[in-house]
């Protein structure tokens, strides 16, 4: 794995999380509440959701692969996290981001 792979994996995950957070509302009231949130609050909700998802598979498989890279792991994690943030921010801003999946 290289930094580009880690970044792209994070980008895909950020887009996925942001789209899921936007679609999570089950009632009209919940949808209004989501729409009323500031972009910063939406971003924070998405980042919290992404962090929570790190407790489950298949993320654990990805984490294992990154951590097996030894000295390169920290740089890979930085690239992954940058991709997550880019994916979330771009999706919330309504930009079309290339989703690799």
Q: What is the pLDDT of residue 28?
A: 67
Cβ neighbour number for residue 73 with a 10 Å cutoff: 16
Measure the CA–CA gap between 48 and 6, rounded to whole angstroms.
19
Q: What is the pLDDT of residue 36?
A: 80
DSSP string for 35-76: HHS-HHHHHHHHHHHHHHHTTSTTHHHHHHHHHTTGGGHHHH
pLDDT in tens, 36-95: 888 898 899 899 999 999 999 889 999 999 999 999 999 999 999 999 999 999 999 886
Q: What is the pLDDT of residue 94?
A: 84
Q: What is the torsion angle, in degrees rounded to the nearest 10, for the CA atoms of residue 89, residue 54, residue 12 and residue 70?
A: 110
Average pLDDT on 24-39 reads 72
Per domain, the residue ranges of the chain are 3-92
């Amino acid at each position: 794995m290289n930094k580009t792979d880690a970044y792209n994996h994070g980008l895909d995950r950020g887009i996925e999380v942001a789209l899921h957070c936007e679609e999570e509302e089950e009632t009209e009231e919940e949808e209004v509440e989501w729409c009323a949130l500031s972009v910063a609050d939406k971003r924070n909700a998405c980042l919290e959701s992404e962090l929570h998802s790190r407790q489950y598979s298949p993320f654990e498989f990805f984490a294992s692969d990154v951590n097996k890279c030894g000295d390169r792991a920290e740089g890979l994690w930085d690239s992954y996290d940058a991709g997550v943030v880019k994916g979330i921010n771009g999706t919330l801003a309504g930009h079309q981001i290339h989703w690799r999946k």
